[in-house]
Structure formats: structure tokens, C-alpha cells
Amino acid sequence: MNQNDLDTSLSRKSDAVSVRVHARPYGRIAVLGMGSWGTALAMVAATAGRDVRLWGRRKQLSDAVQATRINAEYLPDVPLHDRISVTSDLSAALEDAEAVLIVTPSRTLRALCTAIRPFLAKGVPLALCCKGIERGTGFLLSHVVSEELPGHPVGALSGPTFAKETALGHPTAATIAFPFSYADRLNPAESPAARLAVSVSSAAFRPYVSDDPVGVEIGGAVKNVIAIACGMMTGAGFAENTRAALITRGIDEMKFLAEALGGRRETVTGLSGAGDLTLTCSSMTSRNMSLGVQLGKGIPRARCFDGRNVVVEGEVNAVSVVDLAHHIRVRMPICEAVHAILYEGADLTTAFSDLWARPIESEPRALDIELAHPTTLRET
């Protein structure tokens, strides 16, 4: 089997036998959003042999990137692949697109869907590469897209992926998840998830196929909030024990929320959940972690990032995740502590002391034990 065969194959497994089938890659891919992650995904698709149209909202920046072949504002160290063309014209970006990657901020997603509706060919799959839950409605982003653009398969691409490393070709893995119809289960190689996976696969970029976009989306939204929590505790002077505890219990919060919404706990332990969370909580490259560290050091929010207006998805997610959790009665104490500090004026030290002094619980849920914490007993 040659390399091309390897890049366009999918294993169909049962307990007894593994049969390798072939999936057809999409030829032309549109990437909507020209920030660092959008540019990196354009590089991934182009490296895998696809023709890519990269769309940016700002004409001046798009024209400059097309002319210089460098996205100087977001990924200055990565020359664009020859297969990438750059435009600020949505109709040009979506012309003949066989699949679309949406990489714009979650807060602008609904407006973008309205804008692209006239230019989408029937049935083109849409993969969300942004992370979050819509503020106000509590909708997952896939629901927002399905509501605005009915008739299109909607999925998600997520994983432990810093943009610069991905664009430079460092070995990277991610999950691509779409709902599987009955026809997809009979012929998984023709599913949007499988076809998109082989469309972006290369020697460096390894996707995994999933039929659980809910679990993937929840992991992507909640991990941003947990990363702020880890940053806060790091900035306040705590170290590895504390971060490990927050990561582990943060995964549990992801599991509870995903399961309540119809996702699978197993998904949350994969690349898009535990993998992405571990990466985001372990590096100052993450804006969520970085914000938390600065706040933990006592730097006022307005002075974080040297006063620059840096978008931090976890700030938005802290509201939408906690609102959704309250609505469906899921306890998410770490996310609630972050929300209290960011939006309710809670003192950071007190909020985390209260988090550690909650009633003692059993780790396997089936044990169902809750004990009063000795600290709270002494206080009373």
C-alpha cells in the first residue's frame, strides 16, 4: 500500500475482524477565519493536498496575506502553502467548496451563518473549529449552525492543538466528529467525519473519527474555563499538585455536562477533552491560562496582556457554561468559582478556599457519599 492509500483509508473494526475501507477526500476546502488557528488549519488542509480558500473579514489584511504569503499579524513565522488562496469575499471563498471549516469566534458565529447562507452549495458539510456555548441561549455551537443553516451536516474539529506548532508541521492529533446517520453506519467511509478526516490527514496531522460532536464540543468549551482556573492558582503561587487536581476534577465536570446533554463520557477522556485540557492548562501559550495567571498575580483585568484587547474565549465560556449547567442542574464547582471571580466580584483566594472546603465526595459516582468537610465544621 502506498502513502496515498494510507492517507485515504479507514479501518472498520469489529471484535473479530478489521476491514480497511477507503474514504474519498474533499477536493476544495473553505476555511472561514484568518486568525492563527484558521491559518494553521488552511496549512493542514493544503499540506494534505487540498485546494484551500482562506477567508478573512478584513480586506486590508486578506489582501496583504495574499500578496506577501505571510499572515504577519497572527502567524508571522509560517509561509503560506502554494495551494492556499486568500480572500475577504465570502462568495469567492465558498465557490465550489466541498467542505467548510468555520474558525471565527463563537460570539460572531450566528451572524456569519447568515452571511454565508446564499453562497453554500446544497449539503456541504460544516465543521466547527471554534469552541464555546452560545451566550443567552445555552445552545451548543453546532445547534446554532443547524438552526441557521438547515440541510447541512454539522460537526466539530477539536483537540490539543496550538496553532503555530500545527502550522509548522509538528506531529499533531485531533478529533473530527459528526453525527452518524443510519446510512453512515452502513457505509462509514462515506460519512462527513471520515471524508473530512482523510482530507486533512498528512504525515504530521493525524485525525480521529467520532460520532459524538456533543462530547467534543463540551470538551472544547469547558476546558477554556478550567484553564483560567489553573492559571489563577498558578499565578497565586500554587504548583503542580493544585493544577493536577483542577485538571482531573475539570475532566469530571466535562463528563457530567456532556452526559447530561447526550454526549459520551468516553469522548471527554479523548483528544478533544482530556487532551485539549491538559495542553491548555500547561502552557502560557494558551490565552486562557495566561489570563488566569495574570489575574492570580493580582493584575486587574483591564491591565492584563499589557492593556491590549485580547479575546479570551474562556471568559465568554465561563458565563455560557455556568448558565447552561444551572439550567440543567449539573454541578460544576470549578467553573462556578471562575465565574464568581470574573463576574461576581468574588475574592480569588476565598473562592478557591471555598472550592477546596466543599463537602467530601466519593470519586466513583456509584458510591454516592458526601461528608461535611472538617474546615467548615471548625468554622461553625
- Per-residue CA distances from 113 to 103, 141, 187, 192, 255 (Å): 12, 11, 29, 19, 29
Domain span including residue 259:
215-379
Strand 28-32, strand 99-102: pairing: parallel
For residues 322 and 177, membership in a common domain is answered with no
| Final residue of a structural domain among 195, 211, 227 | 211
The per-residue pLDDT for range 157-212, each reduced to its tens digit, is: 999 999 999 999 999 999 999 999 999 999 999 999 999 999 999 999 999 999 99
Please tell me the pTM assigned to this model.
0.90
Is-contact 291 228, C-beta < 8 A?
A: yes
Q: Which of 164, 189, 211 is the last residue of a domain?
A: 211
pLDDT value of position 364:
78
- The per-residue pLDDT for 372 is 87
Tally of domains within the chain: 2
Residue 29 sits at the vertex; the CA angle it makes with 28 and 33, to the nearest 5 degrees, is 150
List residues with catalytic annotation: 223
| Same domain (yes/no): 231, 115 | no
Residues 137 and 38 in one domain: yes
The H or E element spanning position 101 is strand 99-102
Which of 54-58, 130-134, 212-216 bottoms out in mean pLDDT, i.e. has the lowest?
130-134
Claim to verify: residue 312 and residue 291 sit in the same structural domain: yes
Q: What is the CATH number of the domain that holds 296?
A: 1.10.1040.10
Residue 202 and residue 55 in one domain = yes
